[in-house]
Amino acid sequence: MENKPEETTATPILIDPHMLNHYYHHDEISLVDLWLSLLAHKNVFFITFIFIISLAAVYITVTPKTYFYKTDISIGTQTQTQTQTQFIQSPEAIVANLDNAIIPKLLMQQHLNQPDNKLNVTASIPKKTNSVLLISKGTIDQKEAITKLHQQLIDVLAESHHKKVAPMLNYLKDELASSQSLSTKLNEQVKNAPDNNDQLALQMINIENTIRETKRSLAEFTETRSAMGTVQSIKPANKSSKLILSVSFVLGVFMGVFAALFAGFLAKVKEQQ
């Protein structure tokens, strides 16, 4: 006969419900305990709260007010009609040139001349416009330096644009001078010529048309400049004092509660030791 292994049964482990309830009750954290801990360490709460509010007040007092300074650049043109305007340089090309070459160079020169007066400037194209906008942020004391910097940027652009159109301008001016000289000579010939000289009259009409067209072409050329100069924003660019105080109030409450509860935790750990 084969020996069958004896069957064994696991002995159940009985847990006293009273002990289990005592265990959970011992580790349970109630809102009442948190409130009592907060009251017990209310001094820590108020010290932390006042510290946060004081930091915000000091920041508002010490930080100088800054403003936005904006200068609108009117781009020079070389031809203008009722339906189309041809700029000497496109707004996109001007912004790229400013950002990559002109602004960094002038800012470096300004920093070398005035290392303690750090300036900033950006170039952008306002929506639905064909102009370029220079924007700087600075204090009232920096207004003069920012205005000067913006004007230097415009002068560099204006000089570059003038060099591009100078050959055409010189050609038109020479053409105008030559036409006007010829017109004077024709007038003299008309005075001395016999009556009903149709050929001289036709030449006079043609030369007057040429002079008129040349003047119109010259008038279409405009320089790159700022029409209104540098304008300072009315309101400061800083965050509102009320906003800073509101945020610091909320932060102070949270940090105060956390500090008070943490102080209570440390006190409880110290008691158990």
Interval 49-108: pLDDT, tens: 999 999 998 988 888 889 999 999 999 988 766 567 789 999 999 999 999 999 999 999
AA letter at 65:
K
Backbone angles phi, psi at 85, to 5 degrees: -125, 125
Whether 6 shows a pLDDT value over 60: the answer reads no
* Residue boundaries of the structural domains of the chain: 35-63+238-264, 64-232
Whether 21 shows a pLDDT value over 70: the answer reads no
CB within 8 Å of 176: residues ≥ 6 apart: 211, 214, 215, 218
CB within 8 Å of 263: residues ≥ 6 apart: 41, 44
Q: Cα-Cα-Cα-Cα dihedral of 9, 15, 16, 22, to 10°?
A: 180
DSSP 15: -
Interval 252-271: pLDDT, tens: 999 988 888 888 888 887 77
pTM: 0.69
250: left (phi over 0), alpha (psi -120 to 50) or beta: alpha
